[in-house]
A and B are shown apart, each in its own frame.
Chain A
């Protein structure tokens, strides 16, 4: 189970939060001129990386505020939490622990976080 450090309330159990999917998805500016393909891309397509993922969370059973997080989806380790009005940290500031695209972390799937 993940502990999430809410920037407003502090560290709480993940079950208090709801995930809002990929962060920083901008609504296209010219949506009235967009073709079906590009509109479909905006509505249905989201990043799904194994590794570094920028995502949104909301503290549903707490302060009910939204914030962003950077998480490694191969280990569930939360690398950074930042508020909505803060700039996202650059991807280069994190090291991806995966050697191959479908590879697993050294200590077995997901156990990395626990062991540390």
Chain B
């Protein structure tokens, strides 16, 4: 599907991290900005990090203008990505529902819906009986936190996570991008405030520009270049059940009781849990976090009470203080970061890659990601999306 060449001595751009965001960055750099001498360097296999570990939910119903434009840019790219990459993304716009469980949830969600509609997004309010019609298996009234309504985005949905990594990889490879797997970037070398290259397990590779898209490990790599980032790395867990007949044809999320669930095409329930309450790089996470999620799932869907879970895993997410990403240059010339996606980066994969490629190629941000800079942590222009991020952090 793609070649696995030995690294050249020098590249115009080295992308560190072969997940969806990194491969997409290489793809858009080659396609839209005419840069061909690119390497994507991945320490494992493609998509082996958070690209292969998320719950594949796609939506754009974020509160603030900056986020709404960024995430909807991504949803619009998703809508045409199977055609563009000639590879089936299995993108299914089955809708995403965020449940309200109390008076505050209702007010906060209605505010968010209004903000979304002003930004041209298709979010709408659902009453409980409409939720019942869409998801008949849901227990809406006989539980500790009853379901009082929901914010619903019909254009939201799910996609196949491997497909976006492989799709971008194949098309980038065709345009001459070197995809180098099983090669670990160990440090970033700088000289006089400018990047020189990366030290890898396959030797030193020179680069004019380095784009770091290493999710949980971004701050570790940044430190080798002397850059400090406002990130904290934490495990985020997910689990899947045994396959069952189709019972749920949309994505249902609940911030308040912390449970979100969708059903894969194989029939497995895909369940997202929360982050652990402490920094860690162990890709597993604590059992109490799963327990909390499963408890909420069983209360919301009593029908799932006797199901068996097949697999559980964790990924390391890098969380920003304002729960919004950083897509930015930094004080080192030629060094760019696309990080801080926290618990919700998958949905943004094509959009993030697209604007990050622009940032790297032009050495200035695209207007969509201009606000997602590092300066916001000193000038105070935070983009606080703790409410719209589905996972509490």
Contact = CB atoms under 8 A, between A and B. Distances in A.
A109 B277 contact: no
Nearest to B219: A48
A62 interface: no
Contacts of A46: 230, 232
A88 interface: no
Given A19-B277, A100-B186, A109 B220 contact: no
B228 interface: yes
Interface residues on A, range: 20 to 34
A50 B184 CA distance: 15
Contacts of A43: 321, 377
Given A40-B377, A50-B220, A74 B230 contact: no
A18 B184 contact: no
B186 A36 contact: no
Interface residues of B, number: 36
Interface in A57-116: 71, 73-76, 100-103, 109-110
A48 B286 contact: no
Given A48-B231, A101-B224, A102-B220, A109 B288 contact: no
Contact of A15 (B232, B282, B288, B321): B288
Interface in B146-192: 184-187
A44 B286 contact: no
Contact of A102 (B43, B228, B231, B288): B43
Interface string B278-292: 111111101110000
A66 B87 CA distance: 53
A45 B232 contact: no
A73 B279 contact: yes
Given A102-B214, A102-B221, A103-B184, A1 B286 contact: yes
Nearest to A45: B230
B230 A44 contact: yes
Contacts of A2: 286
B131 to A, nearest CB: 31
B14 to A, nearest CB: 15
Nearest to A103: B184
Nearest to B224: A101
A39 B284 contact: no
B228 A45 contact: yes
18 contacts: A18-B277, A36-B378, A41-B228, A41-B378, A44-B321, A45-B377, A48-B219, A48-B229, A48-B232, A50-B217, A55-B279, A71-B278, A76-B282, A100-B186, A101-B223, A102-B186, A103-B184, A110-B280
Closest 8 CB pairs of A and B: A110-B282, A40-B378, A19-B278, A15-B288, A44-B230, A48-B219, A37-B378, A44-B377
Interface of A: 1-2, 13-15, 18-19, 21, 36-37, 39-41, 43-46, 48-50, 53, 55, 71, 73-76, 100-103, 109-110
